[in-house]
Structure 1
């Protein structure tokens, strides 16, 4: 029987233990709270007069005891890659699904996608497994397999109804992300791609802290050409540098529009400051490539199909293959065989 968020007894098992055993507070955290699980909790000057002071001061401190379990669980995964942006709507989930299909096109490689967009999971729809459920066994949970060498884990598989809203605060999100890492039997894999929501908040902090010991190979930044998207990407880059996450490079998505019939390219989102290429040069990170806007990518995602299989000769597909090869090179892989030639 697959786990479901309707089953209250399972909810406690899955989500009640987030980043350690978080103390139960009697009042909301004040504005300058150092955090109820930090070493200074209950002892900082800002804690004076807080109703939670005694609770926080007596809460257990120290490293998360689940980190070694997560590290052991992920020991069979060769490369772990985060897909980040900071900005919503630039195509992170779409790019993650395309990257996964590209890597999985090599039958000798095994790929996994971990969907950490808890409130807006879209990976199952894009991969064509929206109606599947998680399978449990004695060793934990099994990913939902799209192909023999491509597996997915998402909260979507746990929802009683696919339209149900996830209205959760940080601790529950953290708890589920930990569950995806600690109890999912990922097995031997070449790539684990972590699709993230916009921003630099709970999910990003959790993934970074949980994966720190097992190692993250790096992050791929995604943006669209206009400056309003690049503003948030700059913040995400700053987050990676502060968190010690290597930046594999930046991709400019929706870089022009390619007509499916005549293949003529038009600029839809003007790059007022030079786009991702100029940003990459400015802050000295690799520019991985530009992918044009092709409506057939959206169509393939809606139907849960592989864009690479459906339109292999399209300009967007050729551009994507170039980007995927660059990602592979940044991971230290041999360029031959990253994406098999037709």
Structure 2
């Protein structure tokens, strides 16, 4: 399952991270593949950025978030000598690494593999779809923010999915209002409803709106489990609802 958007800064990594945590809470084993090679952020969001990747007979061993090994990660962030090293690679080298991440990582028996992608519709996206095609990926979740500029970029991602034969599971509107940490009132800092309108236009499900929540931001900065620690947060029901729709979609496909 790919998490996509036509632009940066809309919160793809946030959605990928929280979706993994929500699916874990539902009893599923989840892998996260970070193919944002120039800006890997998944390791830090799980507070495992100092871990090393090891080899086994089956290939690379992913980094496990917990002792139960319910969430496993693979990212170029684990392979850099220094966290501030820049990845200055041409397309072919990027494509080769992505194929390795899919085929040569000992993911084990997963219920879901979530792929966090960079902005756009370029080499990394094409390579990821091609590498995953033999495994019959569930589909893609598209992330946007409410503004028309962001929605316009995500329309291009819809075209990408159509051209590559990638099923769109639905659209998530992130940063949909700001939740006051004192009174919990939600204020529409940006415009509202762009994601839902885009879903209607494209004829795909609207999975929900996730507000800007200081507790969510804090948990991401500190690598904490937002789903477990902040069940009363305004963002919590939205994230759990999105995860449930993913579960329902997977169940329908397997039946």
- Under TM normalisation by the shorter chain, which class is it? over 0.9
Aligned: 1:184 with 2:105: yes
Q: Which has the higher contact order (CA 8 A, sep 6+)?
A: 2
Aligned: 1:97 with 2:2: no
Gapped regions of structure 2 (runs ≥ 5): none
The structure with the larger Rg is: 1
**Structure 2 residue aligned with 1:249:** 170
Aligned: 1:287 with 2:206: yes
Asked if 2 retains the 8 angstrom alpha-carbon contact of 1:115 and 1:154, the reply is: yes
Counterpart CA distance in 2 for 1:98 and 1:224 is 17
**Structure 2 residue aligned with 1:87:** 7
TM-score by length of 1: 0.72
Counterpart CA distance in 2 for 1:303 and 1:214 is 34
Counterpart CA distance in 2 for 1:101 and 1:297 is 12
Asked if 1 retains the 8 angstrom alpha-carbon contact of 2:215 and 2:233, the reply is: no
Counterpart CA distance in 2 for 1:326 and 1:261 is 31
Counterpart CA distance in 2 for 1:317 and 1:299 is 14
Please point out which of 106, 123, 127 is paired with 2:46. 127
Q: Secondary structure at the match of 2:236?
A: helix
Over residues 237-263 of structure 1, what are the superposed CA-to-partner deviations in whole Å (9 max), with x where a residue is unaligned? 000001000000001011011112211
Query: Which stretch shows the higher mean deviation, 211-220 or 83-92?
Result: 211-220
**Structure 2 residue aligned with 1:24:** none
Over residues 295-336 of structure 1, what are the superposed CA-to-partner deviations in whole Å (9 max), with x where a residue is unaligned? 2212111111111122111111122111211222222369xx
TM-score by length of 2: 0.95
**Structure 1 residue aligned with 2:215:** 296
Counterpart CA distance in 2 for 1:239 and 1:121 is 22
Please point out which of 306, 311, 319 is paired with 2:225. 306
Q: Aligned pair count?
A: 251
Higher share of residues assigned helix: 2
Runs of 4+ with >4 A deviation = none
Asked if 2 retains the 8 angstrom alpha-carbon contact of 1:221 and 1:251, the reply is: yes
